[in-house]
Chains A and B, each alone.
Chain A
Amino acid sequence: MFPAWMLETMDAILLQVLNGLDKGGAYALIALGLTLIFGTLGVVNFAHGALFMLGAFCAVTLKEILSWEMVTIDPTQKTAWGTPLEVRTPYIEAWLGDAGSFILDYSVPFSILFAIPIMLVIGIVMERGLIKHFYKRPHVEQILVTFGLAIVLQEIVKSVFGANPIPQPAPDMLSGSADIGAFFGLPANTVVYPYWRMVYLAFSGVVIAGVFAFLQFTTFGMVVRAGMADRETVGLLGIDIDRRFTIVFGLAAVVAGLAGVMYTPILSPDYHMGMDFLVLSFVVVVVGGMGSLGGAVAAGFLLGILQSFASMNEVKSIFPGIDQIIIYLIAVVILLVRPRGLMGRKGVMEG
């Protein structure tokens, strides 16, 4: 039905778009929180990547806790050495039986429930304890203090969990790959896509939709949006901005944390993953336009997809190394052509 070369190109394009989407989802989630904090609180949060990393380590922690094992000795069985066989069962299986194994298998999704309260608390503590005092300080100092905080957080995680990445398996049922190509009428097994990446994509879509719905349809969200548009006026209305700031910060922390939790099966978490994503997320925010929520999401997916295209061998053979720098290159071009980013507004953070 199609000539072979065309099929191959379509395969390749489809595959790259898909590959880019899940990474784009992570960028979008982090950038969303960054730009939200930025637009409402006017703070540049260099520790936002650390929140993503902490989220990922929430998943690691829960998995550890769930895997605590009960050691029983089975007298009926002997090991090869003739000693009684030690049977190790995670407590959770011993107590809950099959439900326990199910929870253990699905530890990553279950970590969402675990991570929400933790990230909320972390976010609120961070805002009340530190960020609050920096609203009126120069941006340089905001950058520096959050930068310091990011180092502290990542070093603490390093000293607790070690420096090596800790792999987190996706649930068994979702650890395979889907034959997406077949779905689009392409020959079987040309375009396969891991289930978990689909889950991540859907998940980020849901979270983004949730955040937007929250901002769009609740009174609270309305005030936040008004505050992003014009902080001074909202302040003059006598609305208690302080409490809302705290909640916005907490929300952003939760969003970043969840992005981290669900990303663990795709990328084994280690202590510096936050910084790696932070730099890229900043670029995403800048490309999307500082303070623009829609811009952050659009730019997140756009850059994710472009990055994945740039890592195709065909592209790399024309522009060597392009996969390493594409995102930065785009940021530079965007900032030169459209200084306020794709959807940026006038006057945000200028001067």
Chain B
Amino acid sequence: MVKAFKRHSDTILMLVFIAAVLAGPVILEPVGAGYPDLLQKFAIYGIFALGFNILLGLTGYLSFGHAAFLGVGSYTTVWTFKLLSMNPLPALVFSILAAGLFSLLIGWISLRRTGIYFSILTLAFAQMCYNLAYSVLTPITNGETGLQLSQSDPRVLDTAFGRDYGAVLPASDLFGIEMTGYPGFYFCGVLLIICFYIALRIFRSPFGLMLLGVKSNQNRMNYTGLNTRPYALAAFVISGMYAGLAGGLLAVTDPLAGAERMQWTASGEVVLMTILGGAGTLLGPVIGAGVIKYAENIFSAFNEGTLQSAFSFLPEPLQHIAVSITGLFVGEGWHLTLGMLFMVIVIFLPGGLMEGVNRIINLFRRSSGGGGEGTAETAPQPAE
């Protein structure tokens, strides 16, 4: 009975999610986020965090190196654009494959250790990739300038099909639809929906249950006849492929790939998105990614002028103080806010926003005495 209801509620969850993504431009209009560039970011980082959550939320392994896969995805996409075609589909397929292979290699080595050792190993690998991208691999990555398209790129497939972009730098297009603006967003959005569906299936599958077992008690897993390492590796590779797709999409919407995308701060960001939304929940990471990208967009757009007008209702000296204090947290200081947010979330709400929502729901339930199953997955307590 309960199971049947649960299945039903998954369908509802899926439908609501699809509706929310497709209606994104309208829904987010009132908060000033209804424009395609930002919406694209929501979708792309949503995919990144969804994948990361398959590793962190299900197996409990904390990777500090996932930005490397994001970077690999971006480079692969730009190279596919340059060599084959401006169509995003082959580029993304190659990105997913490249990131998958890459994560297989790094995961195979890193997963020989657990806990903190694993985190440090992934961090070391990511730093290694970042350093290499800036030095020896410059022929592939174009170093500090970043990898860009150029008019003289061969684009073998495009040429074979007689597509000529003329004397301008081409933008990526899906059979003639340019991947910028709203079409770009809907392309990312559809992929986000597909990724969400896959994540949902994984969460509900025996495989997902095994991953939860890995997180909960590895010793018991071993004595239950389960080989934990390939399970963790499979989760690692899946999340790496998600990251590769996200990296590829970043390059599809803006055909440029730079090494800074691989820096460990970027890895830290996806950790934060996942934790903020709620590791181990389905919706949490997508929401976390949205909140962070939205906040980044808002906070970094502020400057002294906007602050002054915001505090113009205050008397002059107070206005001055208010501006200089808030000035620390906005614009260039956005990272300070990010760091604070990080700490506050971990200290007060380690289960993330979804846990907060569940707490509130439970509060209401208790007071009204009602029951029923929430649409969202209730997160198991984070454990090691």
Contacts and interface: CB of A to CB of B under 8 A. Distances in A.
- State if A and B touch, Cβ cutoff 8 Å: yes
Interface of A: 44, 130, 133, 137-141, 143-145, 147-152, 155-156, 159, 275, 279, 282-283, 286, 290, 320-321, 324-325, 328-329, 331-332, 335-336, 339, 349-351
- Which of the four size classes fits the interface of chain B? 35 or more
B170 interface: no
The residue among B132, B135, B346 with the most chain A CB atoms within 10 A of its own CB is B346
A329 B128 contact: yes
B271 A144 contact: yes
Given A44-B116, A328-B127, A349-B117, A159 B333 contact: yes
A86 to B, nearest CB: 30
Contacts of A145: 342-343, 346-347
B137 A321 contact: yes
Contact of A159 (B132, B328, B384): B328
Contact of B114 (A149, A282, A350): A350
B120 interface: yes
B117 A286 contact: yes
Contacts of A140: 56, 60, 62, 382, 384
A350 to B, nearest CB: 7
Given A145-B347, A279-B264, A325-B128, A155 B275 contact: no
Contacts of B356: none
A155 B338 CA distance: 10
10 contacts: A44-B116, A133-B347, A148-B341, A151-B336, A321-B132, A324-B136, A331-B121, A335-B117, A349-B117, A350-B114
Nearest to B134: A324
Nearest to A280: B127
B384 A282 contact: no
B271 to A, nearest CB: 7
Contact of A143 (B113, B119, B347): B119
A140 B382 CA distance: 9
A57 B275 CA distance: 32
A186 B234 CA distance: 57
A324 B134 CA distance: 9
A349 B109 CA distance: 18
Nearest to B136: A321
A292 B138 CA distance: 38
B131 interface: yes
Nearest to A323: B135
Contacts of B117: 286, 290, 335, 339, 349
Interface string B318-339: 0000000000100011011011
Contacts of B128: 324-325, 328-329
B268 interface: yes
The residue among B131, B134, B342, B383 with the most chain A CB atoms within 10 A of its own CB is B342
Given A44-B116, A336-B112, A349-B116, A155 B335 contact: yes
Contact of B116 (A143, A150, A283): A143
Interface in B328-383: 328, 332-333, 335-336, 338-343, 346-347, 350, 382-383
Given A159-B328, A279-B124, 12 more contacts: A140-B62, A145-B347, A148-B340, A152-B340, A279-B123, A282-B124, A320-B135, A321-B137, A332-B121, A336-B112, A349-B116, A351-B114
Contacts of A156: 336
B297 interface: no
B113 A335 contact: yes
B218 interface: yes
Nearest to B114: A351
Interface in B103-122: 109, 112-117, 119-121
Interface residues of chain B: helix, strand, loop or mixed (majority): helix
Contacts of B109: 332, 336
A270 to B, nearest CB: 14
Contact of B342 (A130, A133, A139, A144): A144
B306 interface: no
A324 B129 CA distance: 9
Interface in B202-240: 218-219
Contacts of A148: 339-343, 346
B336 A325 contact: no
Contact of B382 (A138, A336, A349): A138
A65 B113 CA distance: 48
The residue among A140, A149, A329 with the most chain B CB atoms within 10 A of its own CB is A140
A349 B112 CA distance: 14
B127 A147 contact: no
The residue among A139, A275, A324 with the most chain B CB atoms within 10 A of its own CB is A324
B48 interface: no
A38 B88 CA distance: 47
- A-B complex: 7 closest residue pairs judged by Cβ atoms: A321-B136, A148-B342, A151-B339, A155-B336, A324-B131, A152-B339, A148-B343
A127 to B, nearest CB: 15
A141 B382 contact: yes
Contacts of B123: 279, 282
Contacts of A286: 117, 120-121
A321 B143 CA distance: 13
B81 interface: no
A143 to B, nearest CB: 6
A144 B339 contact: no
B125 interface: yes
A143 B136 CA distance: 31
Contacts of B350: 137, 141
Contact of B125 (A133, A155, A320, A328): A328
Contacts of B116: 44, 139, 143, 290, 349
The residue among B135, B272, B332 with the most chain A CB atoms within 10 A of its own CB is B135
A336 B62 CA distance: 19
A339 B383 CA distance: 23
Contacts of A331: 120-121, 124
B136 A320 contact: yes
A203 B331 CA distance: 41
